[in-house]
Amino acid sequence: MPTTVRDIAVRAKVSKTTVGYVLSGHPKKVSEEVRQRILEAAREMDYRPNENARSLAKGKSNVIGVVPFQLQRGALMSPFIRASLSALYDHAEERARHILLFTGYDAQDPAAVRARSFESRVDGLVLIAPKIGDEMLAFLADLHIPVALISSPQSGSILYCNVDNEGGIRASVDHLAELGHRQIGFLGGPPEDGNPEERLQAFLTSMAAHGLSVDPEHLARGEFNRQSGYECALRLLSLEERPTAI
């Protein structure tokens, strides 16, 4: 049988109320001698608090929901998604939090995300690469829980973090130009996404800074998956005047 608060109270020779104050970190004054006696009894008896009861009492679940948007077959094998999830799990563990990965439905549907959030009683949401539009912004405002965005352009006052799209593309073009390439191709994501559009504009600006022209045939746009990337690269490499670098 699992150890209860009553068991600890009997061992420490105090009331159940006093045990509850100490184990919950309640600010009520309890002598240090009594506090230590209770904590020692809890350790000796291998006490494990009932997390469901604690969550209901505090109104907190200690669970963070993570929603990989545009989740397609095989998307969890993406190096970017894997790295993001690994970092989230590590930081959650350090802070005694749990991660709930939202899968199994169209994560692009705000109604589905809202329903799962309420059902799971998550304390907050991390959205990975969401498409930000008026519908999504209204959805986020209506959640009434903390939300953070990963790999998403800034959207009002919502907490977000993103890669340096402009700096990364500029460094890439600089490197290829220094190697002597003049016909450089661009393979980017779908135009309706914010990040791919930022990267394309940075590519055009960087090419112009080096005095290099951009052949429209050398611009390819696709989806964020291996098959689309393969098909776009194949098209660029099949051109009669193909780019010497992409």
Q: Where are the domains of the chain?
A: 5-49, 63-161, 165-237
Cβ atoms of 243 and 236 within 8 Å: the answer is: yes
Q: How confident is the model at residue 84, as a pLDDT?
A: 87
Q: How confident is the model at residue 75, as a pLDDT?
A: 58
3-state secondary structure of 65: strand
Q: Which of 136, 79, 88, 80 has its CA nearest to residue 108? A: 136
Q: How confident is the model at residue 199, as a pLDDT?
A: 94
Cβ atoms of 137 and 155 within 8 Å: the answer is: yes
3.40.50.970, 1.20.1250.20, 3.30.70.870, 3.40.50.2300: CATH of 63-161? 3.40.50.2300
Its sign, for the CA torsion 39, 43, 48, 51, is positive
Per CATH, the homologous superfamily of domain 5-49 is lambda repressor-like DNA-binding domains (1.10.260.40)
Q: Chunked in runs of 10, what are the mean pLDDT values of the chain (246 residues)? A: 84 87 73 88 80 52 80 63 87 85 65 71 83 70 81 70 92 98 95 84 98 97 88 96 97
Question: Helix, strand, coil: what percent of the chain each, to 5?
Answer: 50, 10, 40
Q: How confident is the model at residue 173, as a pLDDT?
A: 98
2.40.160.20, 3.30.1490.20, 3.40.50.2300, 3.40.1160.10: CATH of 165-237? 3.40.50.2300
Q: Same topology for domains 5-49 and 63-161, yes or no? A: no
- Residues 6 or more apart whose Cβ sits within 8 Å of residue 59: none
- In DSSP terms, which residues pair with 245 in a beta bridge? 184
Amino acid at 112: A
Distance CA 165, CA 214 (A): 19
